[in-house]
Chain A
Amino acid sequence: MTTPVSAPEKKKFRLKYYINYLLVGAFFLIFLIMDMTMGLRTSSVQLLVKIAYSIILAVSLNMVVGFLGELSLGHAGFMCVGAYIGCFCANYLHKVIPSPLVVLILAMLIGGVVAAVFGFLIGLPTLRLKGDYLAIATLAFGEIVRTVFKNLNAFGGALGLTTKRYDNSLYIIAFLVVLFTLFVTQNLKRSKHGRAIEAIRDNEIAARAMGVNVTYYKLMVFIIAAFFAGVAGVIYGHLVTPVSNTFFSFNYSIEILVMVVLGGMGNVSGSIIAATLLTFINVQLTTQLSGDMAALKYLIYALILIAMVLWNNAPALRDVREKFSLHRLLAFLNRKLHPAAETPDAPEIADWDKIPTKIPMDALLSTDIKPDHTFEADKPEKPSK
């Protein structure tokens, strides 16, 4: 989504600003109504909560990876901090506060804030690093956190921290948190801070030259993302007991990253869809394949993953992709249904913010040049995000 050039115009209702709320809300409402009328199975509730915390994780990681443009492989580490600390406090709070809802909310706040503090502590020094170096540093952080919690007897040691599970209405709270996460990320994105952050992603040095406080904004994104990861951890801790370190290994960080990449970098709706679908696929594979078939799970998952990435990204498949894309299908249907209507494919007026800042030299030059190659005019492409 691109930010409109801010002119002092009247605030207009734009569907694209609200589409995520609407869809998540609709999704949630369907189940809420079903729950009210007929009751939901425990498995559905579990799946809903899982989808909810996956969305929170994916959307918050998307802020770091897609929006700020820094690769982080330590998201599960922040989740781990949130889960352990939040649930540890919740265990004490249960003795003081009778209402489990209040305890859950407090635990989410505590877990989120502590994770955010860790985000700050780890972000401050490591954000000097670039690209893959930052990626490995965050991965290292995640593993350090996990190792430390594994060996602390106060947190249950290797067996994990025994927590008090929340009842089956956990998904309601989880989805409210999803909406809150969306609220924060989308508003951040559309604010002046968001524009500064995008400027950093597109060109850090240029942004710095324009007077953007790079460290401040990087830290801000890192802290907010860590906060939501921590909150997701607390939700996890109220779904599953005991909370054990093995869940938060770097494999899980990578799983979250997969959701972000498949959904599209910087694309919030994409993250939501990918988180939902991947969680769903994962749970289905786990529950459907029992016994000797279980070994096929990763095989299928891996094949789906590779196929999806190749389909979405391979330059060679671009033509095929466009030929079979959904929007072409829709346009085709549209033509069939309304033969009279003119297809509104008029060229778009050049939006200033749509002109790419960099010419993709790598892509241009890596095509094999044959002797009878005809060169085409060099025209700016739409950014692919």
Chain B
Amino acid sequence: MKRFHRLFALALSVVLCAFCFASCGGSGTNYAASNTEYFIGGTGPLTGDASSYGISVQNGAQLAIDEINANGGLNGVLFHFEMKDDQAGEEAAATGYTALYESGMQLSIGSVTSGSCASFADRAKDDGVLFISPSASAANVIATSENAFRVCFGDPQQGTLSADTLVERSVKVGVIYDTSDPYSTGLYTAFELRMTELGKVKDTDYVVRTFDKDSNKDFSTQVAALADAGCETIYTPIYYTEAGLIAKAAAAQGFNVPIFGNDGLDGVADQLSSDVTANVEYITPFDVNATDDATVAFVTAYEAKYGSTPDQFAADGYDAVMILYAAMQKAGISDVTMSASAMADLIRPVLTSADFSYTGLTGSNMTWSADGSCNKDAKIVKVQ
């Protein structure tokens, strides 16, 4: 009888699985053939530790889609946007990518975080899908495929720029970075390289402490070490959640030195409590307090829809969609059922051409090199 039970259960699962996912279709199928709207997709962490970044990107991108659709889409054809949860993991990003591609995704904003975007890029390369990632900054994300682009700065670019800026201020720098995060290690590696080039010596000109965000978020030890070493600035090449905690830990110890960071720090303003008196500044392409029309309109719309202040992730997500839209317009795309690879072949030359530039929230006159990186200016934003 027990055997019957088992047999039944197994047979059931076989039938169930075979029924549910065994849809056929080999390579070369145009999954977009039955699209009635242009389909833009992407993956990002919507649950788990990194989810605030993914949700920001999703909100920003959705806002852009809403705006495009409100203005009649592209030649009257509307847009559809979908974001799958990858929990900042490679495996889920691959799964999410395939699911999106097979439900007709034509263009993509890739993944939010570097690791999952590398996995996404690897899969997208096979199908020739073009994507422009809002925030995956690691070098290898765009290196794998000619169809991979990004909106944000690359890690090497930013790390070098940070080193230059800090050296110019001729202060003793204390660095705290996250060894478990590709973004942070990427920035730090570039920073260290540049410091060595500039003739600065580790431990005398700059002091380095690390943490592992999977393990602990109590920064008292690292901050105390930097205070003991007499650092005059803390450089934090990390995301804003932890940077806020570092600022608070420093304030608790009465160690009120300026904090300097990169675009990941955008959004830190909400994380600071009133006892933090130190200057917090960061290199970023986006300033939420900027007074230009585009930013003001974006911030107003974002706050109205989601009830929170947008950060750089949201702006990057918005820009990523808008750049795709602009490129589609310029490429003269008119067939909503066009396959993803065909669309990529039309849009890639437009994006990389010298006369295509885009002015948005995260930079003006952005252009793209053939390797997929974005050329734009950075600004330094100070938290008031």
Are A and B direct contacts in the complex by CB distance below 8 Å? Answer: yes
Interface residues of A (CB under 8 A from B): 15-16, 19, 23, 26-27, 30-31, 34, 38-44, 46-47, 51, 147, 150-151, 157-160, 162, 165, 168, 236, 239-247, 249, 269-270, 272-273, 276-277, 280, 283-284, 286-287, 289-292, 294-295, 297-298, 325-327, 330-331
A30 CB contacts on chain B under 8 angstroms: 14, 18, 22
B47 CB contacts on chain A under 8 angstroms: 294-295, 297-298
B25 at the interface (CB under 8 A from A): yes
A160 CB contacts on chain B under 8 angstroms: 90, 115, 118, 182
Minimum CB–CB distance from B62 to chain A (whole Å) comes to 8
Minimum CB–CB distance from B115 to chain A (whole Å) comes to 5
Given A239-B94, A276-B17: A41 and B140 within 8 A (CB)? Answer: no
Given A30-B14, A277-B13, A330-B8: A162 and B118 within 8 A (CB)? Answer: yes
B26 at the interface (CB under 8 A from A): yes
Interface residues of B (CB under 8 A from A): 1-10, 13-14, 16-18, 20-27, 46-47, 58, 62, 82-85, 88-92, 94-96, 98-99, 101-102, 114-115, 118-119, 122-123, 138, 140, 179-182, 184-186, 212, 214-215
Minimum CB–CB distance from A278 to chain B (whole Å) comes to 11
Give the CA-CA distance A28 to B172 in the complex, in Å.
Answer: 63
Given A46-B94, A151-B179: A31 and B22 within 8 A (CB)? Answer: yes
Contact B115 A159 (CB under 8 A): yes
Give the CA-CA distance A159 to B111 in the complex, in Å.
Answer: 14
Task: Return the chain A residue nearest B144 by Cβ.
Answer: A162
Q: Which 7 A-B pairs have the closest CB atoms?
A: A39-B26, A294-B85, A287-B99, A294-B46, A38-B24, A159-B182, A43-B98
Give the CA-CA distance A49 to B47 in the complex, in Å.
Answer: 24
Contact B21 A47 (CB under 8 A): yes
Contact B22 A44 (CB under 8 A): yes
Choose among A34, A47, A241, A325 the residue that contacts B90 (Cβ–Cβ < 8 A).
A241
Contact A44 B119 (CB under 8 A): no
Contact B14 A290 (CB under 8 A): no
Contact B95 A287 (CB under 8 A): yes
Give the CA-CA distance A249 to B25 in the complex, in Å.
Answer: 35
Contact A241 B118 (CB under 8 A): yes
Contact B83 A290 (CB under 8 A): yes
Given A38-B24, A287-B84, 13 further pairs, Cβ under 8 A: A27-B18, A30-B22, A39-B24, A41-B102, A43-B98, A44-B22, A46-B94, A159-B182, A160-B115, A160-B182, A240-B94, A242-B115, A247-B91
A47 CB contacts on chain B under 8 angstroms: 21
Contact B179 A150 (CB under 8 A): yes
Give the CA-CA distance A150 to B214 in the complex, in Å.
Answer: 11
Give the CA-CA distance A289 to B18 in the complex, in Å.
Answer: 21
Contact B90 A242 (CB under 8 A): yes
Q: List 10 A-B contacts (CB under 8 A).
A: A26-B14, A40-B25, A40-B26, A41-B23, A242-B115, A247-B90, A273-B6, A286-B99, A290-B85, A294-B47
Minimum CB–CB distance from A340 to chain B (whole Å) comes to 20
Contact B122 A150 (CB under 8 A): no
B186 CB contacts on chain A under 8 angstroms: 159
Contact B7 A19 (CB under 8 A): yes
Give the CA-CA distance A241 to B102 in the complex, in Å.
Answer: 20
B123 CB contacts on chain A under 8 angstroms: 42
Choose among B4, B102, B118 the residue that contacts A42 (Cβ–Cβ < 8 A).
B102
A34 CB contacts on chain B under 8 angstroms: 22, 24
A42 CB contacts on chain B under 8 angstroms: 27, 98, 101-102, 123
Contact A286 B181 (CB under 8 A): no
Among A31, A246, A327, A330, which residue has the most Cβ atoms of chain B within 10 A? A246
Contact B140 A241 (CB under 8 A): no
B4 CB contacts on chain A under 8 angstroms: 326-327, 330
A273 CB contacts on chain B under 8 angstroms: 6, 9-10, 13
Contact B5 A291 (CB under 8 A): no
B3 CB contacts on chain A under 8 angstroms: 15-16, 19
